[in-house]
């Protein structure tokens, strides 16, 4: 018994040593390769040598790897973005914090325009089958007010109104850059089809309701403010001129032959301002766009200082009412379509060229090809093709790819910036208003009953 008592401590020590040995064996048998998130793996793979030397001696780098859970990337919406849109005849507003609200409740709204700072929305409201009025509302839903009434419109042209006209309505309206002033021109409305502009230009301040005529009927036309707001390009069916923002210092810049439209409206040229407001570019279609063989579309440079305009070059393109020559926003490139093959085939080629028409090359050839617009940085553009109107995202230096995961039923694509764009996707009886990035980040703004809604954005 005395021997057994002396032996018990030795047995306890033996089992203690054996237990430690087994534990060490188990620990060293754990695999040294850990499953980490792609982000953590990338960070580990790019540790500088100087930082690797700071790992304590005797400690493996694997033991110091932090295992993190992989979190799907969240959309980074452009800060301050506001999207105003029409739903069931009323104005709604969506903001970049993913909130939306209904701003009006009286209905009958059919087009809108949000100010540069996103604070005020101007819109046209239908009064009856023929008459419309210009209204405004703050983006917080306050102070809904009528800017121009039916009576105001009638008074504007009482002396020159065609007796057969049933209404005088605002036509094109836009914000004077950097202000809450709305610039607009007017049209005479008849019971039959057609567009009959009065070639005027009016201004109404949405904050103070101060109204004045900048250019009287016959002195204005279609208008486009320079990016800095200092000048206005005025287009009529026979010329392009420039005026200062106060309506003075008129410069007749480019006369052109009236273009046959084969319809009940007149063609107005569409000059494009340079980003620095120092010049414009414009593509002028041939006087008869259906002449065979096709006559060239001329490409012009218009200096904003009043010096002589000159023709940079020309291209042979499809008739303007099918697809117009389109300048990238930085004016470095143009895109245009040209018919190819028999007319019954409805096949076109999409060309990319320099702004003078030189260096043209075929980007794509397809059935029912349509160009839908440039991205702001001219790196991407949108087109559609085929009988199912498949929408594609093109790049100047790459082949086109499908536009979004579902490229069908796409309408009214507009770019917010070089990465984000807004569009409508058609569903059965409704349209989804969507914001998406080139990386595929998608935000559903709202579902809107047919027909497709008109929208605008700021920010």
What confidence tens digit (pLDDT) does each residue in 154-165 have? 999 999 999 999
Give, rounded to a whole angstrom, the gap between the first and last alpha carbons of the chain.
93
Given this model, what pLDDT does residue 12 score? 42
Specify if 60 maps to a domain: yes
| 204, 220 contact by CB (below 8 A) | no
Lowest mean pLDDT among 342-346, 363-367, 393-397, 398-402: 342-346
Given this model, what pLDDT does residue 26 score? 35
Specify if 241 maps to a domain: no
Checking if the pLDDT of 202 tops 60, the result is: yes
C-alpha–C-alpha distance, residues 446 and 316, integer Å:
41
451 prior amide bond cis, ω within 30: yes
Judged on CB neighbours under 10 Å (0-12, 13-18, 19+), 455 is buried
Using only C-alpha atoms, the chain has a radius of gyration, in whole angstroms, of 32
Mean pLDDT of the chain: 87
Specify if 366 maps to a domain: no
Q: How confident is the model at residue 79 (pLDDT cuts 50, 70, 90)?
A: confident
Checking if the pLDDT of 48 tops 60, the result is: no
pTM above 0.85, yes or no: no
Specify if 174 maps to a domain: no
Tokens of 338: 């040209």
Q: How many domains does the chain have?
A: 1
Checking if the pLDDT of 205 tops 90, the result is: yes
Checking if the pLDDT of 219 tops 90, the result is: yes
Q: Select from 420, 404, 459, 432 the least CA-distant residue to 76.
A: 420
C-alpha–C-alpha distance, residues 65 and 329, integer Å:
48
C-alpha–C-alpha distance, residues 223 and 186, integer Å:
12
Residue 3's SS3 state is: helix
The CA distances from residue 150 to 153, 180, 292, in Å, are: 5, 22, 46
Specify if 37 maps to a domain: yes
Helix H or strand E encompassing 151: helix 150-156
Q: Select from 301, 372, 296, 370 the least CA-distant residue to 331.
A: 301
Lowest mean pLDDT among 37-46, 130-139, 325-334: 37-46
C-alpha–C-alpha distance, residues 239 and 307, integer Å:
15
Q: What is the mean pLDDT of residues 219-223?
A: 98
Q: Select from 342, 351, 357, 396 the least CA-distant residue to 369.
A: 351
Q: At CA 181, angle to CA 433 and CA 452, rounded to 5?
A: 20
C-alpha–C-alpha distance, residues 370 and 337, integer Å:
8
- pLDDT tens by residue, 29-44: 333 333 333 333 333 3
Q: Which residues contact 198 (CB under 8 A, 6 or more apart)?
A: 157, 160, 168, 185, 186, 187, 188, 217, 218
Q: How many C-beta neighbours within 10 Å does residue 355 have?
A: 20
By DSSP bridging, strand 279-284 and strand 390-395 are unpaired
Q: How confident is the model at residue 69 (pLDDT cuts 50, 70, 90)?
A: low
Where does residue 129 fall: left (phi above 0), alpha (psi -120 to 50 degrees), or beta otherwise? alpha
Q: What is the DSSP letter of 206?
A: T
Given this model, what pLDDT does residue 452 score? 84
Tokens of 317: 């393109």
Lowest mean pLDDT among 12-21, 124-133, 282-291: 12-21
Checking if the pLDDT of 349 tops 80, the result is: yes
Write out the residue range of the structural domain in which residue 54 sits. 24-71
Tokens of 193: 């089809």
Cα 22 to chain centroid distance, Å, stands at 67
Q: What is the mean pLDDT of residues 58-75?
A: 49
Give phi and psi for 9, each to the nearest 5.
-60, -35
By DSSP bridging, strand 196-197 and strand 201-205 are unpaired
Q: What is the mean pLDDT of residues 377-385?
A: 96
- pLDDT tens by residue, 397-445: 999 999 988 899 999 999 999 999 999 999 988 999 999 999 999 999 9
What residues does 93 pair with on adjacent strands? Answer: 84, 101
Specify if 124 maps to a domain: no
* Higher-scoring residue by pLDDT: 44, 100: 100
Specify if 136 maps to a domain: no
Specify if 49 maps to a domain: yes
What residues does 371 pair with on adjacent strands? Answer: 383
Q: How confident is the model at residue 75 (pLDDT cuts 50, 70, 90)?
A: low
Residue 441's SS3 state is: coil
CB half-sphere exposure, 77, CA atoms < 13 A: 20
Q: Select from 418, 301, 419, 275 the least CA-distant residue to 354.
A: 301
Which residue is associated with the tokens 């949405």?
Answer: 206
């Amino acid at each position: 018994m005395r021997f057994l008592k002396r032996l018990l401590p030795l047995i306890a020590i033996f089992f203690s040593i054996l237990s430690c040995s087994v534990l060490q064996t188990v620990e060293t048998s754990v695999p040294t390769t850990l499953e980490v998130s792609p982000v953590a793996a990338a960070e580990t793979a790019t540790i500088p040598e100087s930082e690797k030397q700071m790992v304590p001696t005797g400690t493996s780098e694997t033991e110091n790897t932090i295992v993190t859970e992989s979190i799907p990337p969240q959309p980074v919406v452009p800060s301050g973005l506001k999207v105003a849109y029409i739903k069931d005849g009323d104005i709604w507003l969506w903001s970049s914090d993913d909130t939306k609200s209904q701003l009006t409740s009286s209905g009958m709204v059919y087009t809108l325009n949000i100010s540069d700072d996103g604070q005020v929305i101007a819109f046209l409201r239908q009064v009856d089958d023929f008459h419309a009025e210009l209204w405004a509302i703050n983006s917080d839903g306050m102070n809904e007010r009528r800017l121009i009434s039916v009576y105001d419109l009638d008074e504007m042209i009482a002396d020159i109104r065609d007796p057969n006209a049933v209404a005088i309505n605002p036509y094109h309206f836009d914000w004077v850059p950097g202000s809450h002033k709305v610039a607009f021109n007017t049209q005479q409305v008849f019971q039959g089809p057609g567009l009959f502009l009065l070639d005027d230009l009016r201004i109404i301040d949405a904050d103070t309701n101060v109204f004045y005529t900048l250019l009287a009927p016959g002195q204005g036309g279609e208008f486009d403010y320079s990016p800095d707001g200092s000048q206005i390009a005025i287009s009529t069916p026979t010329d392009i001129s420039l005026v200062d923002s106060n309506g003075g210092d008129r410069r007749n810049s480019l006369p052109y032959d009236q273009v046959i439209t084969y319809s009940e409206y007149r063609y107005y040229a569409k000059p494009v301002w340079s980003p620095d407001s120092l010049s414009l570019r414009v593509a002028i279609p041939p006087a008869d766009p259906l002449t065979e063989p096709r006559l060239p579309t001329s490409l012009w440079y218009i200096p904003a200082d009043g010096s002589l305009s000159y023709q940079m070059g020309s291209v042979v393109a499809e008739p303007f009412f099918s697809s117009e020559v389109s300048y990238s926003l930085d004016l470095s490139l143009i895109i245009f379509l040209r018919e190819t093959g028999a007319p019954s085939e409805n096949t076109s080629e999409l060309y990319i060229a320099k702004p003078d028409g030189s260096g043209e090359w075929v980007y794509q050839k397809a059935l029912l090809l349509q160009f839908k617009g440039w991205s702001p940085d001219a790196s991407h553009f949108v087109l559609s093709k085929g009988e199912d109107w498949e929408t594609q995202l093109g790049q100047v230096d790459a082949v086109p790819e499908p536009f979004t995961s579902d490229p069908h039923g796409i309408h009214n694509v507009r770019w917010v910036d070089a990465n984000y764009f807004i569009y409508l996707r058609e569903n059965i009886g409704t349209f989804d208003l969507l914001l998406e990035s080139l990386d595929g980040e998608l935000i559903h703004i709202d579902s809107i009953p047919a027909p497709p809604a008109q929208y605008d954005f700021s920010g």
